[in-house]
Amino acid sequence: MAMAGGRSRVGFLILCVMMMICVGGSAYGEVCIPRKHAALFVFGASLFDTGNNNYINTSAISGINIFPYGQTFFKYPSGRFTDGRVIPDFIAEYARLPLPLPYLFPAYQTYTDGTNFASGGSGALVETHRGFVIDLKTQLANLRNVNRILRNRHGDAETNKLVSNSIYLFNVGTNDYTARVTENSSVLLSYSADEYVKIVVGNLTSVVQDIYKMGGRKFGFLGIAPLGCLPSLRARVNGTAGSCLEEANELAKQHNKELSLVLQNLERKLQGFKYSFTNYYDLVSQLMNFPSKYGFKEGMVACCGSGPYRGYSTCGGRMGVKYELCENPSDHVFFDPSHYSERAAQIIAHQMWSGNGNTTGPYNLRSLFQD
């Protein structure tokens, strides 16, 4: 307690000094943002959503605002697709920022620590779950709106500093790929797998380029997991116990390869562009296949759901169907058929924050924040 108090007093003093430098340099009395302060802006789908879907009409694909969602950390269903915190919550904690509020949270937001635009079920393509999610282009439009608000409140100079110091964090594609293999949409099936991956990554890339044009410089990406081995997709495979839907795994691998190449190109092309890419395909395979190495008891069967691998999305009694719930979500890699438990999310977030070598590079998030 004493330690924490001491540290926060020192933090307050540093903040004051920075504020004074900043106010001294500001001609119009603009409210100033500490120099070098990095905010966190989050984009993507359910692995990153901290509650946006609560504020849109999305009954068809969501309905996770019921027990046992949220049981571990918040003790109430927080709008997150898991028992506790999601990956960006941990990233924010490591960066000493508050937990990212959903952009649509209906209260005053300062935005100087960032905000979260992610929406469960969304993809890079507007076709993916259209009408039930906030698609990536709309997430970008929402960032533009935040930018306008920041300029009004703080002026251009302060806002430009914040925009270029901030981290823009993405996890995009999972729903585009699962929609392709599980739903019979003619628009999506008219492309070959190769073309489809290029279109998904292409749409993600154009959003990244637009943020760069707005002044964004530091980007973080989480790749795609072995999707075919999620409990929800294993449940669809008949045959050998433990087998995965290989078509989905192939799409995930191709996506990670394509995104990695595109990011290397952007780094060459765009001056000052810096990124962190975590290709966690192998990490998730390890978690699923060797759970005990990471302190889990179960890597394949979800904590909450029904049917094979508890792979049917009935957690919480959605659709009025009975479901099973494990005793301790932290024993499971997956909380529900498509989403990690809080403990697995923490392991993944830690890899993004401080990992290096083959999984996270060329920067990790810690070095992007400190830069």
Ligand X SMILES: *[C@@H]1O[C@H](CO)[C@@H](O)[C@H](O)[C@H]1NC(C)=O
As annotated, the active-site residues are: 46, 336, 339
Rounded distance between C-alpha atoms, residue 9 and residue 358, angstroms: 39
Contacts of 57 (CB under 8 A, 6+ apart): 132
Tell me how far, at minimum, the Cβ of 223 lies from ligand X, in Å.
15
CB of 30 closer than 8 Å to CB of 80: no
Nearer to ligand X, 142 or 203 (CB): 203
Contact 347, 332 (CB under 8 A): no
* Residue nearer to ligand X on the CB measure, 95 or 347: 347
Cis peptide before 231 (omega within 30 of 0): no
Residue 192 contacts ligand X per CB under 6 A? no
Residue 236 found at the interface with ligand X (CB under 6 A): yes
Task: Tell the smallest beta-carbon distance from residue 78 to ligand X (Å).
Answer: 22
SS3 label, residue 312? strand
β-sheet bridge partners, residue 275: 219
- Give the span between the Cα atoms of 323 and 230, in whole angstroms: 18
User: How many residues lie near ligand X (CB under 6 A)?
Assistant: 15
C-alpha 121/C-alpha 58 separation (Å) is 9
* Interaction between residue 195 and ligand X (CB under 6 A): no
Q: Check if the beta carbon of residue 220 is closer than 8 Å to that of residue 169.
A: yes
State which residue, 155 or 308, has the beta carbon closest to ligand X.
308
Residue of 155, 202, 215, 308 interacting with ligand X (CB under 6 A): 202
Residue 217 CA to residue 163 CA, distance in Å, equals: 8
Site string for ligand X, 91-130 (x = CB under 6 A): ----------------------------------xxx---
Decide: is 59 part of the binding site for ligand X (CB under 6 A).
Answer: yes
**238 binds ligand X per the rule CB under 6 A:** yes
How far apart (Å, rounded) are the C-alpha atoms in residues 62 and 76?
Answer: 16
Identity of the residue, 29 or 357, whose beta carbon is nearer to ligand X in the bound complex: 357
**60 touching ligand X, by CB under 6 A:** yes
Q: Taking CB under 6 A as the rule, does residue 203 contact ligand X?
A: yes
Nearest to 79 by CA among 20, 119, 37: 119
**Nearest-CA neighbor of 248 among 236, 263, 264, 262?**
236
- 176, 125 Cβ separation under 8 angstroms: yes
Min. distance of Cβ 20 from ligand X in angstroms? Answer: 46
Pairing of strands 167-171, 218-222: parallel
Residues 328-357 that bind ligand X (CB under 6 A): 357
- 29 near ligand X, judged by CB under 6 A: no
* Under rule CB under 6 A, residue 358 binds ligand X: yes
Structure tokens at 14: 């540093």
The stretch near ligand X (CB under 6 A) out of 112-120, 197-205, 344-352, 360-368 is 197-205
Given the complex with ligand X, which of 202 and 307 has the nearer CB atom?
202
Task: Identify which range of 42-50, 57-65, 268-276, 289-297 contacts ligand X by CB under 6 A.
Answer: 57-65
Nearer to ligand X among residue 125 and residue 227 (C-beta) = 125
The two structure tokens encoding residue 175: 């729903």
Using CB under 6 A as the criterion, which residues of the chain lie in contact with ligand X when the complex forms? Answer: 57, 59-60, 125-127, 184, 199, 202-203, 206, 236, 238, 357-358
